Amino acid sequence: MFKLIMSFLFKAVLLAGIFIAHIWVNNVLPYPFEHINLIFAFLFIYLLTDENAQALWYALILGLFLELFVSASFGVTMLSLYFCILSTSWLLTYFLTNRSFYIVTLAAAISMFIYRIYFLGLNSIFNFFFKRNFLYTSRTAADYAYEMALTALFVMLVYLLLSRIIKKLNPKYLGKYE
């Protein structure tokens, strides 16, 4: 029972820490670096290391917390994040199965693109049915491009660091069993 409570507390503190770090990055770092999506990076790295789909539950919880700070309609960010992590899990399982750092970077960039497609699509649907205005400008496209590039680079750096520490992420580790 104590082990279960400690596991729950650890996961709650981890999710709170990731969320607070994400809010800090968005509010404190200068212009281009404020677009690093730490929540997505955490969920993506967690998908690489875990097979039992806990990242989907974490996406729901972190998406719900994100809804408090987003000006979009309620549920758009949470649904976009959840469907993105679901699509990313499928992408990593069936198509991009190699775990080299350039494939991980490509998968992170594709996944961020998928996240933004889901977000813009759901936001457009909500705006159409509830007759709200959401302006898509050239600035929006530039911000999303910065977010995709910087988050993919951040995921690559974290992956390179973690692949030295965690054997499961190191592609050389898999070569021993062939």
Chain segment 45-96, per-residue pLDDT in tens: 998 887 777 888 899 999 999 888 887 778 889 999 999 999 999 988 888 8
Mean per-residue pLDDT over the chain, rounded: 86
Q: Which residues of 151-172 are buried (b: 16+ CB within 10 A; e: fewer)?
A: bbebbbebbeeebeeeeebeee
Q: How many distinct structural domains can be found in the chain?
A: 1
Host domain of residue 56: 2-175
Q: What is the pLDDT of residues 16-58, one digit of tens each?
A: 999 999 999 988 988 888 889 999 999 999 988 877 778 888 9
pTM, two decimals, is 0.86
CA atoms within 13 A on the CB side of 166: 14
CA 29 – CA 26 distance, rounded (Å): 6
Res 118: pLDDT: 94
Q: What is the pLDDT of residues 130-141, one digit of tens each?
A: 877 766 777 888
Res 132: pLDDT: 74
